[in-house]
Structure 1
Amino acid sequence: MEKALDLHTLGMIKQRSSISQCPSSIEAQNITGVSEFHLLVLSEDPGLQPILFVLFLYIYLVTLLGNMIIVLAVCSDSHLHTPMYFFLSNLSLVDICYISTTVPKMILNMQTNIGVISYGGCLTQMSLFLIFLCMDDILLTTMAYDRFVAICYPLHYSVIMNPLLCGISILLSFSISILDSQLQNLIALQFTCFKDIKISNFFCDPTQLLNLSCSLSFTARLVMYFIDTIFGFVPISGILFSYYKIVSTILTFPSSSGRYKAFSTCLSHLLVVCLFYGTGIGVYLSSTVWHCPIKVVVASLMYTVITPMLNPFIYSLRNREISSALKRLCNRTILTGDLLHQFSI
């Protein structure tokens, strides 16, 4: 009898202990009150922070200036009113917006030494980042198609790449980018539980948020990976197919000078594509294979900061028409400045 009572008492104690543990477990899985995340500060060394602050501020300003000059050169010079430079100017505008979604917040965090971003601010930053990332991707694919038509069908180039098709391409790229961003944003809103509020990057990287989530269902993860695959695989497949046809056509040219001239028109775009996708693959590998925050940050810096800065230099240094347009723009600017100075006198 006593043994039965002891077993009954032991059972009651276990039941009470399990009941007392339920609220804590439920509370741990329902951390819906996350109001902020902590971003990674590049350096906590007080002596190194001013140097990094000046360095990235300089990179940001150079990126803005370089891409804005490309836009002004294309808009002001009638020789560049062609589909290729129309897409290039839009790519420069997207690069300005792309780098502006991450770097200003990073510079501010360096200045204040507080890498905190609100939950809403994190989702907003992630949404804008995905929009301009996807637009970069689609614009590079469209530019590859433009080069494919110019080299493979030169006699029909002006008919195929007409202004209406160019405008529709930009509008379609923007619409698809918003769709991609909003789909991933809807999935991110289902994150109700996080393993940690510390993001191992200097911005709200979608991959990092996915890794921190502990409440996302298998179906939602599958949908998210499917979206990433579609919006990543389709554009790069289009670029590879376009360059396959371009190379096949160039090899049929009888003269070496003709082959070189045709390939030189694609070289700048090909360099930008390699830089864009090379750093993108580096980010993917760093987040899924290495699991090292420093390598993730370095790859992300190449992907989000260095690539938009280098694009104007690649196109201006490797392209004679852009270089000539920039010289004419500088001459007009100097002439306008002299006239304004004379009138002021």
Structure 2
Amino acid sequence: MIIEINDLVKRYGKLTALNHFNLKVKQGDILGLLGPNGCGKSTAINCILSLLSYDKGDIKLFGEKMSPTRYDIKKRIGIVPQEVAVFDELTVIENIDYYCGLYITDKKTRKQYITEVIALVGLEDFITFLPSKLSGGLKRRLNIACGIVHKPELIFLDEPTVAVDPQSRNKILDSIKELNRQGATIVYTTHYMEEVEQLCNNIVIVEKGQVIAEGTKEQLKSMIKVNEKIVIEIPDFPTAVKEKLLQLPGIIEITYDNVFATLNTEENKAVFAQVLHLLEENQISFGNFYTQQPTLNDVFLEITGRELRD
């Protein structure tokens, strides 16, 4: 195991931030660490990195006990914080060189690593720019480059695509995939479920300082009642028709946003035809009519009772 945490407890006075928190991350994983603000994700990461002391539990990285003085372990870790952490007075290449120099003393190796990471994040045309001259997306790419330039084996990425343009977002996601292909194990936190769907081979959901669900996206989706959704574009959706639909076997819940009605269903092969028949029987006009598989957001909502971004 690259990360192994057992019964981690962290208290702030009467507040228990981590309540017997357990986590295992295998080599080569891209782990999606999900949870609403205040659930304990950042506290757990800071404890893993020995930036915070904790009240109880054990933390091992690379099979060895982690502590504040284990600089040999820390050299094998890369951290990309949510807040951009670069020097405003240094250019792009000077920033990357500074962070690389904290780990790599050989000049030839450092130059090679810098060239490679600049290409990885797509900053070749901006190496002489000061951070103040970069767009938000390019600053995020620089932030990533500074955190991974020393080729760490374990990388923590804290919401690296927040508030970036689509081009930078795609470049960042592609870079993360490439880092993983090169052998890096990645712990990834985000509020964007579609990124987790795209990137992560294993997912952990944290709530109130505890891991409440974990597994692959397929395993997590199998835990919830919703088998699929029926989505109907419907300009007029009478309450009486909605109540009739709810009486059909397999219909769990119906939501309506004045354009689309979404029917959450349990496994029932006949329910699609039954819904269609009921609408036609009640002379309800509708447009698009299709099914959707449950998403990770559905999983999170059912397990925690709230949206990830709440």
TM range (shorter): under 0.3
Which protein is bigger by CA-based radius of gyration?
1
Q: Which has the higher contact order (CA 8 A, sep 6+)?
A: 1
TM-score by length of 1: 0.21
TM-score by length of 2: 0.23
